[in-house]
Amino acid sequence: MSAPQKKTIENKSGIVLFAKRPGKTSFSSLYTIKKALNTSKVGHTGTLDSFASGLLVVCTGQLTRLSSRITSFDKTYEAVISFGQETDTLEPSGKIIRQAPLPSLSDLYSALDAFTGNFMQSPPAFSAIRIKGERSSDLARKGIPADIPLRPVSVYKCKLLEVKLENGKIFGTKAEDDDKARSDMVNLCGDEKVLYARILFEVSKGTYIRSLARDIGVFCKSAAHLKGLLRTKVGNFSLSDAAGFSLLPDFSIASVLENEKTLENAHADTADPDAELRLEVTEKLKGMTGELALSCGLVPVKILPEYEDSFYNGRPLKKEMFEKPAQDFNQICGEPLSDGGETSFAVFTEADVFCGTVEAAGHGSGDMGQNCLTYGYVVPRQHGLISKPAS
């Protein structure tokens, strides 16, 4: 009986949605994926702190070139904020640097209104931002103050999901609750002091939820830091579709507080040894398809057979080389492209092999038009990726 054939890297090119558990680092999660796929070629699209949990979108093989594109997507989080104390890291492991009275529920609602929209945010001192070539977090550990520039961010939604009051009572709301439900809650306990709040945030790339927690506390004339964080969406990718989703603990104020001591003893840098989890990773590896291309912000298009060699050899691009996209981009994405903008296309052969990306500039119709076409990147022909969904 012959030995099973070892899979080649081409078959491991795709996107894996992975549910990171609290207490694990993002890099130990990457190691779990590497081990499951028996490959070292992976690229993350945004890490999570070890205390946090939720969705990691990981590109593998030839699709690692898409990592920077996915990093720029909007994200959705649920955050448990602890009031009354601010830590230097703005999360549970930090040292307490400031204490202040608890905010009222009415003040908290006002803060959520104030931090919905576009504004300039001050990133945490403990962050990966580089200041003159050195990480801000490294400078902070040395006690060296760093002048971190403010950055523009957008918070599309701040929605209170649950509160625990100073008197021990816990109230929950639904994400779709309307203004009347909020008014009823304020009338019922608006003057009560808030110990913890679980909040839904929909934000742009580069928004620090730790900074939002800090700034909400300051707005309420209190102090605050994150107690727990769960990332539920990255662009069109959802946590519920991720490998390991069933292993995540419930995310509520009570469960976050209950799990805190467990996290203190967790080995954050160890990979998950669970063989079933590794199997789930292999089963949920998404090969490049037209549907996946759309989730990555790419318009799927086919290159005509007579031009395949030209494409693989990097010859000048012309719109005549491609079939018109099957669907109008405006209809797919629900918003028009502006004239002078740029659209990226995922290029497939007639045999549904993904062979690279193309950029088209200066149009507003969603097709390739009469505009300037440039290569994004070309997948080497021997690595051509057959279009197939996750099993």
**Among the options 49, 215, 272, 367, which is catalytic?**
49
Q: Classify residue 326 as exposed, middle or buried by CB count within 10 Å of its CB (0-12, 13-18, 19+).
A: exposed
Token pair recorded at residue 235: 């662009």
* SS3 state of residue 78: strand
CB 358 within 8 A of CB 347: yes
Residues 380, 384, 387, 389: what is their CA dihedral angle, to the nearest 10 degrees? Answer: -80
Q: Is 102 helix (H, G, I), strand (E, B) or coil?
A: coil
375 exposure class (CB count in 10 Å sphere: 0-12, 13-18, 19+)? middle
Residues in the chain: 391
Give CA separation, 109 vs 113, 116, 272, 277, in Å. Answer: 6, 11, 39, 40
Note whether 19 and 54 are within 8 A (CB).
yes
Q: Is 40 helix (H, G, I), strand (E, B) or coil?
A: coil
Structural contact between residues 22 and 263, judged by C-beta atoms closer than 8 angstroms: yes
> Residues 6 or more apart from 278 whose CB is under 8 A from it?
32, 35, 36, 272
- Using the structure block, give the residue that is written with the tokens 């103050």: 145
The number of CA neighbours under 13 Å toward the Cβ of 243 is: 28
Cα–Cα dist 366/233, whole Å: 25
Give the Å distances, CA to CA, from 153 to 64, 88, 95, 122, 202. 26, 22, 27, 10, 11
CB 209 within 8 Å of CB 229:
yes
Q: Where are the alpha helices (DSSP H) in 174-271?
A: 179-189, 209-219, 253-264
- To the query of whether residue 49 is one of the catalytic residues in this protein, the response is yes
Catalytic amino acids? Answer: 49
